[in-house]
């Protein structure tokens, strides 16, 4: 099942046609090649995408030298450096070197060895961005007078060519297959440790951090249980102590084996950690069936008011009661909203009768139809120490990466093109007539096994699969919202993994609303 799912996810961006970023510049001294290239379909390397910038021609008689290549990506309304190589340096510096391979060099223009190149190890939804290549150059007789030539490669051009290519029909069938797989109950949507070692070295350290956090959690539970006199929990206490000892042993083994970086060692470690997770889950189920001095585990741990929102950057849909309460006062939610301009002719916007989203939700202004989505965002790791628990649910993505344990996906929503007036207020994600609603989703646990989150006030999670994730101390209800997107040349699109819903000549999404018991 995991292999079949991986194939479905790769088809979204692997077979991208060549999209050339040609841009007219006031300086016509250079002819610069800047594009995204698919791998050779006749080879076995079908899971990577390459972005290359290179000088192909000059119009000056004098000799031209390249002083620097720089590739930027566009995020939060500004250009940010992704990779750079300068004259006199023998390697490329990059911001996200764990996600892609880089190479290149400067030198004389037209020299085939003068270029900068980025190759993503695996094509996925995160590659869909705007990119810019700056070439800093000078003539051999004017070293002190440097000039910059820029080229831009737009993600809109990427999707436009993708829609018009023969691959569209094939992708449609594959996407449908992916949707059916994502809805099945037995799916576990996560990369194996073998894949992490092979593709993202940074995730190894993340695994070490999560193991340390699990050990700390076990120690806290042992200390708490030691203060009780309930004989019924003696077996659970012994199980916890043994679990902590085994975790300590596994941590030492993992440190030694990760240094060797062999696939076989990591595979063995993965299996041992999986067995340990099963043991911990059995322990939690045992604790849930017993009482602690007349109170349940749920009331003792969650009701203490000490639970804080997990670490990472993310956003949640804002309920009509306001942003959720937070035990940690070292950070505050940042609030914002997105106003969507939906179809004006025969509009069919709708939502659940008992929806609890922050108001307003649906507005009609001078025959124009609008839908509002409001958010509560956490834009830094400051103030939180715990990770998001395993389970089956989605949250909104903030920034370029998801918190640990999640996979990135989302929707592309096509707003009304005539008299477009969609707007963004406060802290939020993106603007423009084609809005990308990005999510972080996980399916590494059962939705019927309750997870621990702050339960002092209502909040939303996005539904992933057939059931809402159960949360200690909270009652959940399913809600939905439907946006009647633009009828003319509609370009709605879904990128798995994403919450339960669809984006195809209309956008619908299912949400889970939680309120205290």
Examine residue 86 and state whether it is found in any structural domain, yes or no: yes
- DSSP string over 369-401: EEEEEEEEEE-SSTT--PPPPSSEEEEEE-SSS
User: Domain count of the chain?
Assistant: 3
pTM of the model as a whole = 0.49
Burial class (CB in 10 A: 0-12, 13-18, 19+), 42: exposed
Closest CA to 407 of 10, 129, 4: 10
Examine residue 301 and state whether it is found in any structural domain, yes or no: no
DSSP H helical ranges for 99-166: 155-164
- What letter does residue 467 receive in the DSSP assignment? S
Assign 248 to helix, strand or coil: helix
One domain, residues 198 and 121:
no
One domain, residues 489 and 375:
yes
One domain, residues 437 and 353:
yes
Examine residue 15 and state whether it is found in any structural domain, yes or no: yes
Examine residue 307 and state whether it is found in any structural domain, yes or no: no
> What does the pLDDT look like over 19-35, one tens digit per residue?
333 333 445 567 877 77
Examine residue 306 and state whether it is found in any structural domain, yes or no: no
Examine residue 210 and state whether it is found in any structural domain, yes or no: yes
> What does the pLDDT look like over 38-52, one tens digit per residue?
544 444 444 567 888
One domain, residues 150 and 246:
no
Band of the pLDDT at 5, cuts 50, 70, 90?
Answer: very low
One domain, residues 362 and 464:
yes
> What does the pLDDT look like over 103-152, one tens digit per residue?
888 888 778 888 888 887 766 666 777 889 999 888 876 766 788 888 88
Residue 261 confidence (pLDDT): 58
Closest CA to 9 of 463, 442, 495: 495
One domain, residues 369 and 222:
no
One domain, residues 83 and 227:
no
Question: Dmax of the chain from CA atoms?
Answer: 91
Domain of 40, CATH number, reads 2.60.40.10
270 lies in which domain range? 193-294
Of 259, 294, 329, which one is at a domain's C-terminal end? 294
Most confident of the following: 7-16, 90-99, 380-389, 458-467: 458-467
State how far the Cα of 160 lies from the Cα of 157, in Å rounded to an integer.
5
One domain, residues 97 and 211:
no
Closest CA to 357 of 369, 372, 370, 347: 372
State how far the Cα of 119 lies from the Cα of 257, in Å rounded to an integer.
28
Examine residue 180 and state whether it is found in any structural domain, yes or no: no
Assign 406 to helix, strand or coil: coil
Band of the pLDDT at 184, cuts 50, 70, 90?
Answer: very low
One domain, residues 287 and 429:
no
Instruction: Report whether pLDDT(298) > 50.
Output: no
One domain, residues 235 and 156:
no
One domain, residues 242 and 139:
no
Examine residue 274 and state whether it is found in any structural domain, yes or no: yes
Mean pLDDT (the chain) is 74
Structure tokens at 393: 């649910």
Residue 197 confidence (pLDDT): 43
Picking from 135-139, 230-234, 326-330, 390-394, which range would have the lowest pLDDT averaged per residue?
A: 230-234
State how far the Cα of 476 lies from the Cα of 458, in Å rounded to an integer.
10
One domain, residues 160 and 234:
no
Contact (CB, 8 A) for 409 and 437: no
């Amino acid at each position: 099942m995991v292999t079949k799912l991986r194939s479905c996810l790769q088809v979204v961006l692997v077979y991208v046609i060549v999209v050339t970023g040609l841009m007219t510049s006031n300086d016509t001294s250079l002819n610069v090649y800047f594009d995204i290239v698919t791998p050779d379909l006749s080879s076995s390397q079908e899971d990577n995408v390459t972005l290359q910038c290179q000088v192909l021609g000059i119009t000056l008689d004098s000799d031209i030298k390249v002083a620097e290549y720089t590739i930027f990506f566009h995020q939060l309304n500004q250009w940010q450096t992704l990779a750079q190589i300068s004259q006199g340096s023998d390697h490329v510096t990059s911001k996200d070197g764990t996600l892609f391979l880089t190479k290149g060099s400067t030198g004389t223009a037209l020299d085939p060895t003068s270029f900068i190149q980025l190759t993503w190890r695996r094509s996925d939804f995160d590659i869909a961005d705007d990119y810019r290549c700056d070439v800093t150059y000078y003539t051999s007789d004017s070293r002190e007078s440097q000039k910059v030539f820029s080229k831009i490669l737009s993600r809109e051009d990427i999707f436009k060519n993708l829609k018009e290519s023969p691959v569209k029909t094939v992708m449609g069938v594959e996407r449908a297959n992916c949707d059916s797989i994502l809805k099945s109950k037995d799916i576990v949507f996560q990369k194996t440790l073998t894949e992490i070692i092979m593709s993202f070295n940074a995730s190894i350290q993340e695994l070490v951090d999560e193991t340390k956090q699990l050990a700390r959690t076990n120690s806290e539970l042992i200390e708490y249980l030691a203060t009780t006199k309930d004989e019924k929990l003696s077996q659970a206490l012994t199980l916890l102590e043994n679990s902590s000892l085994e975790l300590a042993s596994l941590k030492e083994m993992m440190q030694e084996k990760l240094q060797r970086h062999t696939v076989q060692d990591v595979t063995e470690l993965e299996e041992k950690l999986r067995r340990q997770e099963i043991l911990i889950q059995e322990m939690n189920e045992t604790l849930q069936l017993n009482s602690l001095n007349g109170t349940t585990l749920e009331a003792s741990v969650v009701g203490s008011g000490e639970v804080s929102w997990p670490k990472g950057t993310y956003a949640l849909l804002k309920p009509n009661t306001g942003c959720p309460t937070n035990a940690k006062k070292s950070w505050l939610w940042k609030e914002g909203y997105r106003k969507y301009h939906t179809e004006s002719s025969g509009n069919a916007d709708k939502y659940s009768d008992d929806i609890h989203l922050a108001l307003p939700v649906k507005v009609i202004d001078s025959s124009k139809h609008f839908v509002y989505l409001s958010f509560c965002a956490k834009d830094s790791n400051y103030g939180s120490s715990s990770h998001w628990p395993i389970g089956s649910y989605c949250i909104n993505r903030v920034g370029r990466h998801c918190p640990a344990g999640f996979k990135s996906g989302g929707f592309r929503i096509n707003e009304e093109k005539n008299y477009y007036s969609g707007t963004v207020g406060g802290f939020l994600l993106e603007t423009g007539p084609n809005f990308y609603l990005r999510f972080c989703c996980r399916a590494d646990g059962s939705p019927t096994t309750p997870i621990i989150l702050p339960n002092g006030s209502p909040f939303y999670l996005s539904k992933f699969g057939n059931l809402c994730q159960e949360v200690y101390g909270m009652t959940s209800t399913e809600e939905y919202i439907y946006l009647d997107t633009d009828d003319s040349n509609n370009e709605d699109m879904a990128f798995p993994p994403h919450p339960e819903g669809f984006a195809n000549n209309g956008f619908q999404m299912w949400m889970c609303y939680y309120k205290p018991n």
